[in-house]
Structure 1
Amino acid sequence: MPAKVFIDGEAGTTGLGISARLADCPGIERRSLALEQRKDPDAKKALMESVDVVVLCLPDDAARETVALAKAMGDRAPRILDASTAHRVAEGWTYGFPELASGQPEAIRTARFVSNPGCYATGAIALLRPLVDAGLIPSDFPVAINAVSGYSGGGKTMIADYERGHAPAFEAYSLGLEHKHVPEIQRYARLDRRPIFAPSVGNFAQGMLVCAPIFLDDLPGRPKGADLEAALAAHYAGSQYVRVMPAEASGRIEPESLNGTNDLELRVFASEGRRQAVLIAKLDNLGKGASGAALQNLELMLQGDA
């Protein structure tokens, strides 16, 4: 019997991406609301009662409303996978980054509520959490992160501006230091101090680089770049989607080569002479940073229902 899935917000960028990926997944039956019923809570409730998992691709407030509706359904409620920011650090929710720790896939399989990670947060946590767990980066270390994303991560208005030629070639933003991904980065990277996060957007549709510069001599034990790389490699050994790659000898890296995949590549660029390193994550902001990660989580959740 096929698993039944409802994507609430299927017309948005992430919803469309998940729908496209589900088309290649046997054993999953998609359920949808008619256009005129999408704001009808009774119609939504009836549909939710008929499915196994609801995937939320909604603005935060709308996601909270749908979760409240699900909680009011009691035993008839489906499981929820939320791709919004609304529940990423909320109590009672399981963080949907399967590679976070050894027990995370099983936690996702059995969770009633799963929050899909943010795109920037995926890259930052993937770089930092293993190094904090290994004791190479102290939890109270002052961490700075900068990143660049393709414009598809900015929503319909930004996409339209770039595609019409009305946007700048490059733009730093969220310089008030209140970006919505920072709380999940801090929590799931196990940082005691709030990191500085400076994102930017470039004139390319999708792809992402997340970078964390490190002064090696400021770390306990004064590790080498190779030590950081080895800790990352040990953490992700056997991972299907996360790979630790050697740094390019050219000292350059571009953001788009993983587009269309659920892959995440991590690199340590280091100068032992200068005792400096830059940790870099590369991913597709619409893949491992959004709909690809959602499909990975959805498959784990449906294993739990099998």
Structure 2
Amino acid sequence: MTLPVVFIDGDQGTTGLQIHQRLQGRADLKLVTLPADRRKNPQSRMAAINACDIAILCLPDDAARAAVASIENPAVRVIDASSAHRTDPEWVYGFAQISAAQQKAIATAKRVSNPGCYPTGAVGLLRPLLDAGLVPRDYPVSINAVSGYSGKGRAGVDEFEGPDAAQATPFLIYGLGLAHKHVPEIQQFSGLFERPVFIPAYGSFRQGIVLTIALQLRLLSSGLTGGRLHACLEQHYAGSDFVEVMSMDQSRALSGLDPRTLNGTDKLRLMVFENAAHVMLAAVFDNLGKGAAGAAVQNLDLMIAGA
């Protein structure tokens, strides 16, 4: 049996390094990367991407588009970890847990766009609830999220771990124009009719995300409770290897949410908190795990199995 050839383009960035670590040593594929003196050589990159079975692009958006444009071999399949193609209707969105149909689509796809880190939590929480009709598609959703500084890529790591780390801002809310590039992705794949408000932040920890969405019960169907929302999530993700829904009793026992709880794993943990008037949906996961490299490897495994 011929092993599938997997080429990582951009294996020195935060996501690329993580993917390389996960794939290195696997016996079911042949991993290809370019040596340092050829990484930025257009001819070398073009030759490598056209000689592989599956290319994983860990590049800035424009470079990812250029890499895809350089593909001449129609057999080459692509997983793009950038945001360049996430809302492109010709690409399959790489969040397999949306539905069984999505998993099958990824398995046979030529082009898969890896979800963004923040959208992984937002879509993971919202999509089942909107599909079930428990949260209206026109609900005025507001999302708050805090990520580790590795979410900025190498620039963030240099800022907090380099020679001027003492000057790094310990907590920073950004995206004040309310036009973060992840918003269209969140809206499209959650199923919202209106753009959500998204307020992201970076903290002075390397990796991990906590994302929350507050809901007012008075704006939902009469009699709807946090328990019913929780039951919907629990049913949707039952049996999932990568998404877990914490029980209501376990959630009530928590005194806080640490974004680093699932660091080093490829899992997404969802929670529901409630009082008489409000519900808070929450997600915790590793922005370099389920939020990036872990999702890419999950998609790769589906594509290899579906070949």
d(CA) in 1 for partners of 2:135, 2:98 = 16
Please report how far the alpha carbon of residue 121 of structure 1 lies from its aligned counterpart in structure 2 after TM superposition: 0.3
Q: CA deviation at 1:74?
A: 4.5
TM-score (norm 1): 0.95
Partner of 2:92: 94
Give the secondary structure class of the aligned counterpart of 1:2. Answer: coil
Task: Give 2:167's aligned residue.
Answer: 166
The aligned residue for residue 210 of structure 1 is 211
In structure 2, what is the equivalent of residue 5 of structure 1? 6
Structure 2 counterpart of 1:104: 102
Matching residue of 1:257 = 261
Displacement of 1:3 in angstroms is 1.4
TM-score where L is the length of structure 2: 0.95
Partner SS, residue 51 of structure 2: coil
C-alpha distance in 1 between matches for 2:302 and 2:114:
12
The one-letter code sitting in structure 2 at the alignment partner of 1:113 is R
Contact 2:24 2:31 in 1 (8 A): no
Work out whether residues 217 and 223 of structure 1, in 8 Å CA contact, stay in contact via their aligned partners in 2.
no
Q: How does 1:37-56 map to 2 (within 5 A)?
A: 37-56=38-57
Structure 1 CA distance for aligned equivalents of residues 86 and 3 of structure 2: 29
Aligned to 1:295: 297
Give the drift of 1:175: 1.1
Q: Secondary structure at the match of 2:167?
A: coil
Equivalent of 1:278 in 280, 284, 293: 280
Judge conservation of contact 2:243–2:268 (CA < 8 Å) in 1: yes
Q: Using the TM superposition, name which of 20-29 and 278-287 deviates more.
A: 20-29
Shift of 1:41: 2.8
Change in 2 beyond 3 A, CA 1:10/1:250: closer
Gaps of 5+ in 1: none
Q: Distance in 1 between matches of 2:252 and 2:24?
A: 36
3-state DSSP of counterpart to 2:16: helix
Deviations 1:212-244 (A, max 9, x none): 000012112341010000000011011011011
Q: For structure 1, which segment, 25-34 or 205-214, has the greater mean C-alpha deviation from structure 2 after superposition?
A: 25-34
- Tell me the distance in 2 between the aligned counterparts of 1:156 and 1:176: 24
Alignment correspondent of 1:134: 132
1:285 is paired with a residue of what secondary structure? Answer: coil
Output the amino acid matched with 1:279: L
Structure 1 vs Structure 2 CA RMSD: 1.2
Query: Which stretches of structure 1, 4 residues or longer, exceed 4 Å deviation after superposition?
Result: none
In structure 2, relative to structure 1, the CA distance for the partners of 1:219 and 1:94 (3 Å cut) is: same
Q: Distance in 2 between matches of 1:261 and 1:227?
A: 28
Structure 1 CA distance, aligned partners of 2:166 and 2:94? 35
What is the rounded CA distance, in whole Å, between the counterparts of 1:37 and 1:19 in structure 2?
17
Deviations 1:153-187 (A, max 9, x none): 11222222222222122111111111111111000
Counterpart of 1:155 in structure 2 is 153
Q: Could you tell me which amino acid in structure 2 is paired with residue 82 of structure 1? A: D
Q: Are 1:304 and 2:306 an aligned pair?
A: yes
| 1:194-233 superposed matches below 5 A | 194-233=195-234
- Do the aligned residues in 1 keep the contact of 2:19 with 2:296 (CA within 8 Å)? yes
Equivalent residue pairs, number: 300
Supply the AA of the counterpart residue of 2:47.
Answer: A
* Between 22-31 and 51-60, the greater mean CA deviation after superposition: 22-31
